[in-house]
Amino acid sequence: MADKHIDDISGVETTGHEWDGIRELNNPLPRWWLWTFYATIVWALAYTVVYPAWPMLTSATKGIWGYSSRAELSAELAAAKTAKGDMLQKIAATPVKDILADPQLAKFATAAGAAAFKVNCVQCHGSGAAGGAGYPNLNDDEWLWGGNIEQIHQTISHGIRFQDDAETRTSEMPAFGDILKPDEIKQVAAYVVSLTDKPHNAALVEPGKQLFADNCASCHGQDAKGNREFGAPNLADAIWLKVRGEEQIIAQIRQPKHGVMPAWNARLGDTTVKELAVYIHSLGGGE
Amino acid sequence: MSIAVRHPGAADPFLTYIKVCFRIRCEKAERSYWILAMNLYTAPSTKDRKKTEAEKRPAASPPHEPLYEAQKKIFPKEIKGRFRRFKWLVMLITLGIYYLTPWIRWDRGPFAPDQAVLVDLANRRFYFFMIEIWPQEFFFVAGLLVMAGFGLFLVTSAVGRAWCGYACPQTVWVDLFLAVERFVEGDRNARMKLDASPWSVQKLAKRTVKHAAWLLIAIATGGAWIFYFSDAPSLAFDFVTGHAAFVAYSTVAILTATTYVLGGLMREQVCIYMCPWPRIQGAMLDDNSLVVTYNDWRGELRGKSSKNAAVEERTVGDCVDCNACVAVCPMGIDIRDGQQFECITCALCIDACDNVMDKLGRERGLIAYATLNEYQSNMALATDCGRSSIDPNRVRKSDGSFVDQIRHFDWKILLRLRTLLYMGIWSAVGLALLVALLSRDRLEINVLHDRNPQFVLESDGSIRNGYTVRLLNMIPERRTVFLSLQGLPGAEMKIPEISTDYADRVFAIPLDPDKATPLKVFVTLPKKAIFDPREGFNFVLEDRASGETDVYHANFNTPGASK
């Protein structure tokens, strides 16, 4: 700004720029504005002293208040835990069956169980607990090992075919590929299909029924409605856990697949397992 | 850094705009002489004067005027009159409503607060006498705001800036603060003397009393506000004993500060510099809007009374230049300079002038509410259509009364297309709100279908759908309602909160007063009944005692049919 330009009327220096004959006055700043500006600078400097700010070689200054967002988080988590403490203690002290009888406790447990389910269970059972092939749907009314609250609690606690847990539930369907001839397996499969009114080959069903009574009824029952003692599924209902259609039934008889569910008691603790049991029980299929 | 500044000598852009508008309008109508006439007899404003002085100065030695105008001290004189009485009445009513409303009780039974007007933020309810509004009904409040907007348009187009002059909280509180000031320090002359006098014990005492009184009013103002948000008597007790929430104290502190600063210290500065509303209202005025007008066609030339002069030799108008209109103006302007955006049309200058006219035995209305049309017509008469300066003889008969061509205010002008249109819209919105209010539901059902899973296959082949049903009991009474299925033959409901094993098509459900009750509802459709459930079904909620019903159309999803 070599040439200083003074505005004729106000006597104030202009910025030296001109737009279509309009010049901008270069007035001093309003005092209140300037003081506010200085105040923000002081504020900013004080802030760096009070809070962690200046980078050093290995870490940063801690600030005289010793604030850290991690400490704040853990404090908040601790506070939340304390706030929930009463309810958690109550759940720990109450047998799982009695939780259902207390509406307030059941509501809390259901909400807590839903949260725990989303972290631990959705990987296999799905976010809506609807399962998938080989992973049971927890909404429906078919339960391999029983669907009352205590049985659900037992299943979650100790798992299914989970060898690290002594109390785990175990059963294994033999591979009938070694026991029955391929034709006989076809006959059994035709009989199983016929139980649920599906299209089937009537000629195969009659011998299949006899073979079923001889080989399968010990676990699945004479009426093929399963047996929860052995986790033997009901074959006469609409729900199929692992197989769809005759081909897959044949494959399952010949060389059965077995699912494994981990035991959660050791990992999550009994309180969370109780909450999970209450939540699963609330999904609509609980007995 | 730099800040662009308007030259102090430059014309106010707003006034320039108004003048340009007038000129364009008049040229269109080939009546531009009226504008000439108007400008001829408008006293030059201080701003114009400054400009001429500035222009006279040689450019080589620029003047160093301050760039910002300091607040001019205004000492409005007390006045009595019909507009002053009306303003006292409006103040009494508006302040009365503001301060007393929270204390009105209204019995709603044991399950709702008994405060007539209450904004219950914690429970998300708004109570207004017999009306209770839930958050989803907030459109009623929005509708009231729309009505307030159109109401202001209506009032402004009919009677000008009546809001500014009478009902605006700024005006009302400034009026109150001025009354206090007058009570403590005396009227205009006493206050001017006090202000000019050096500090003394007496001056200090008076100032202290005045500001203390202002602060008390300010605290009461802030204090009244919080009572709209909580039970007034218990909050008042808590507030005094120091047990109220922090937000109560901070709100009172902020409102005390704003009331004291805006009403006591800044006064007319708020209207002139801070409030956008005068500008908006100014733009909404038209030729038929009532504005406070100095009728210079009968006032000029100003001068001492010509009462005793011969009628034929009348050389001066009615204005005796007594300055009473200036002395009472709370905005510190001279209404005789013509219409100004500073004027809030409080009409106190009308009272002042009428008093003087009464004393002089002249007709009232030298300063009066008048429309621009009337004014211009009368002005044309007085100036012979702009061909000469104002001649008092043109508007008067030989006996001193006004000639018949003088136009006076005709109330029919209030009923013109524009005001009727605003009135129509305002009434339509009001009517719509009223209908909505009278026909609104106090029992509602909202349904959310489970997202995952969409359906569940049960072991017997039936299909189950899950829903989260919210039942809204919007009255402060307990009641039992019936939730039933309509359509979907064969289907049954299960509501675990009611019973875990009982299934039926109808359930009786107890509802808490004034609450939304969420329920998990499972609807199961037997295998035999599954043919085409895509058309869905209805959840029907009914209160058989009151006959209220609400219906929600829900979908039912099956493996074959999804929507």
Tens digit of each residue's pLDDT (9 = 90 or more) over A197-248: 777 788 889 999 999 999 999 999 999 999 999 999 999 998 988 877 888 9
Q: Count the neighbouring beta carbons within 10 Å of the beta carbon of residue B308.
A: 5
Q: What is the pLDDT of residues B206-225, one digit of tens each?
A: 999 999 999 999 999 999 99
Say whether pLDDT at B23 is over 50. no
In chain B, whose CA is at the least distance from the CA of A15?
A: B2
User: What percent of chain A lies above the pLDDT cut of 90?
Assistant: 72
Greatest alpha-carbon span in chain B:
116
> Element (H or E) spanning B370, and its range?
strand B367-370
Interface of B with A in 277-316 (CB under 8 A): none
Give phi and psi for B437, each to the nearest 5: -70, -40
Say whether pLDDT at B197 is over 60. yes
- Per-residue confidence (pLDDT) for residue A3, from 0 to 100: 64
Q: Does B122 touch chain A (CB under 8 A)?
A: no
What residues in B contact A6, CB-CB < 8 Å?
62
Do A194 and A239 lie in a common domain? Answer: yes
Say whether pLDDT at B10 is over 90. no
* Calpha distance B194→B398 (Å, rounded): 48
Do A47 and A12 lie in a common domain? Answer: yes
* Calpha distance B231→B103 (Å, rounded): 9
3-state secondary structure B342-367: CCCCCCHHHHHHHHHHHHHCCCCCCE
Handedness of CA B283, B288, B290, B292 (dihedral sign): positive
* Calpha distance B514→B112 (Å, rounded): 8
Q: What is the pLDDT of residues B46-90, one digit of tens each?
A: 444 444 444 444 444 445 556 566 778 999 999 999 999 999 999
Contact B522, B556 (CB under 8 A): no
Fold category of B443-554 in CATH: Immunoglobulin-like (2.60.40)
- Per-residue confidence (pLDDT) for residue B396, from 0 to 100: 84
The partner residues of A232 in beta bridges, in order of sequence, read A227
Q: Does A286 touch chain B (CB under 8 A)?
A: yes
DSSP 8-state class, residue B124: T
Considering only CA atoms, which of B210, B214, B213, B235 is closest in space to residue B224? B235
How does residue B283 score in pLDDT terms, banded at 50, 70 and 90? confident
Is A8 in Cβ contact with B59 (below 8 Å)? yes
What is the identity of the amino acid at B547?
A: G
> With the CA atoms of A90, A96, A98 and A104 taken in that order, what torsion angle do they form, in degrees rounded to the nearest 10?
50
Do A146 and A266 lie in a common domain? Answer: yes
Task: Let me know if residue A106 belongs to a domain.
Answer: yes
What residues in B contact A13, CB-CB < 8 Å?
none
Using alpha carbons, list the distances in angstroms from residue A152 to B15, B227, B391.
82, 54, 106
Do A130 and A197 lie in a common domain? Answer: no
DSSP 8-state class, residue B24: H
3-state secondary structure of B123: coil
Q: Does B450 touch chain A (CB under 8 A)?
A: yes
Q: Count the neighbouring beta carbons within 10 Å of the beta carbon of residue A133.
A: 11
In chain A, whose CA is at the least distance from the CA of B68?
A: A30
Contact A241, A134 (CB under 8 A): yes
Do A105 and A137 lie in a common domain? Answer: yes
Handedness of CA A245, A250, A255, A259 (dihedral sign): positive
> Element (H or E) spanning A39, and its range?
helix A31-50
Give the residue extent of every domain in chain B: 1-46+292-409, 82-281, 443-554
3-state secondary structure of B430: helix
Considering only CA atoms, which of A60, A109, A68, A30 is closest in space to residue A281? A109
Contact A118, A260 (CB under 8 A): no
- Domain containing A148 — which CATH number? 1.10.760.10
What average pLDDT does the segment A64-75 reach? 93
Q: Determine if residue B199 is left, alpha or beta; phi over 0 gives left, psi from -120 to 50 gives alpha, anything else beta.
A: beta
Looking at every residue in chain B, the average pLDDT score rounds to 85
Do A154 and A195 lie in a common domain? Answer: no
Q: What is the pLDDT of residues B144-157, one digit of tens each?
A: 999 999 999 999 99
- Per-residue confidence (pLDDT) for residue B534, from 0 to 100: 66
- Nearest chain A CA: its distance from B230 CA (Å): 27
* Radius of gyration, CA atoms only, chain A: 36
DSSP 8-state class, residue B126: E
What residues in A contact B62, CB-CB < 8 Å?
6-11
- Neighbour-count burial of A143, counting CB atoms closer than 10 A to its CB (0-12 exposed, 13-18 middle, 19+ buried): buried
What average pLDDT does the segment B362-390 reach? 90
3-state secondary structure of B516: strand
Do A19 and A159 lie in a common domain? Answer: no
- Per-residue confidence (pLDDT) for residue A7, from 0 to 100: 83
Contact B390, B300 (CB under 8 A): yes
In chain A, whose CA is at the least distance from the CA of B458?
A: A140
- Per-residue confidence (pLDDT) for residue B386, from 0 to 100: 82
- H runs (alpha helix) in A51-102: 69-93, 96-101
Q: Which of A127-131, B59-63, B227-231, B367-371 has the lowest mean pLDDT?
A: B59-63
DSSP 8-state class, residue A285: T
Domain that holds residue A197: 182-254
- The residue whose two tokens read 């489970």 is B450
- The residue whose two tokens read 């509180």 is B173
Contact B256, B217 (CB under 8 A): no
- Token pair for residue A23? 């010049």
Is B62 in Cβ contact with A238 (below 8 Å)? no
Task: Let me know if residue A8 belongs to a domain.
Answer: yes
Do A266 and A160 lie in a common domain? Answer: yes
* Calpha distance B249→B258 (Å, rounded): 14
Handedness of CA B99, B105, B106, B109 (dihedral sign): positive
Helix, strand and coil percent figures for chain A, each rounded to 5: 50, 5, 45
- Per-residue confidence (pLDDT) for residue B473, from 0 to 100: 95
Do A129 and A266 lie in a common domain? Answer: yes
Angle at B276 between CA B1 and CA B65, to 5 degrees: 45
Considering only CA atoms, which of B65, B114, B103 is closest in space to residue A7? B65
How many Cα atoms occupy the beta-carbon half-sphere of B194 within 13 Å? 19
**Length in residues, chain A:** 287
* Calpha distance A26→A165 (Å, rounded): 82
Interface of B with A in 497-526 (CB under 8 A): 500, 520, 522
The ipTM estimated for the assembled molecules is 0.81
Say whether pLDDT at B462 is over 80. yes
Say whether pLDDT at B199 is over 70. yes
Count structural domains, chain A.
Answer: 3
**H helix and E strand count, chain A:** 12, 2
Contact B42, B340 (CB under 8 A): no
How does residue B313 score in pLDDT terms, banded at 50, 70 and 90? low
A28 or B328: which leads in pLDDT = B328
- Nearest chain B CA: its distance from A126 CA (Å): 9
Give phi and psi for B328, each to the nearest 5: -90, -10
User: What percent of chain B lies above the pLDDT cut of 90?
Assistant: 66
- Token pair for residue B169? 């909280």
Task: Let me know if residue A82 belongs to a domain.
Answer: no
- Token pair for residue B512? 């808490």
Is A141 in Cβ contact with B458 (below 8 Å)? yes
Task: Let me know if residue A49 belongs to a domain.
Answer: yes
CB proximity list for B35: less than 8 A, separation 6 or greater: B22, B23, B26
- Per-residue confidence (pLDDT) for residue B65, from 0 to 100: 57
Interface of A with B in 209-228 (CB under 8 A): none
* Calpha distance B455→B464 (Å, rounded): 6
Give me the DSSP letters along B484-513: EEESSTT-EEE-TTT-SS-EESEEEEEE-T
CB proximity list for B451: less than 8 A, separation 6 or greater: A128
Task: Let me know if residue A176 belongs to a domain.
Answer: no
- Per-residue confidence (pLDDT) for residue B9, from 0 to 100: 40
What average pLDDT does the segment A117-142 reach? 93
* Calpha distance B97→B251 (Å, rounded): 20
Do A93 and A147 lie in a common domain? Answer: yes
The partner residues of B472 in beta bridges, in order of sequence, read B444, B516
> With the CA atoms of A235, A240, A242 and A248 taken in that order, what torsion angle do they form, in degrees rounded to the nearest 10?
70
Task: Let me know if residue A130 belongs to a domain.
Answer: yes
Do A244 and A269 lie in a common domain? Answer: no
DSSP 8-state class, residue A178: T
- Per-residue confidence (pLDDT) for residue B66, from 0 to 100: 60
Q: What is the pLDDT of residues A11-65, one digit of tens each?
A: 888 888 888 888 888 888 888 889 999 999 999 999 999 999 999 999 888 899 9
Is B2 in Cβ contact with A26 (below 8 Å)? yes
B453: nearest CB among A27, A128, A141: A128
Do A1 and A21 lie in a common domain? Answer: yes
Is B67 in Cβ contact with A27 (below 8 Å)? yes
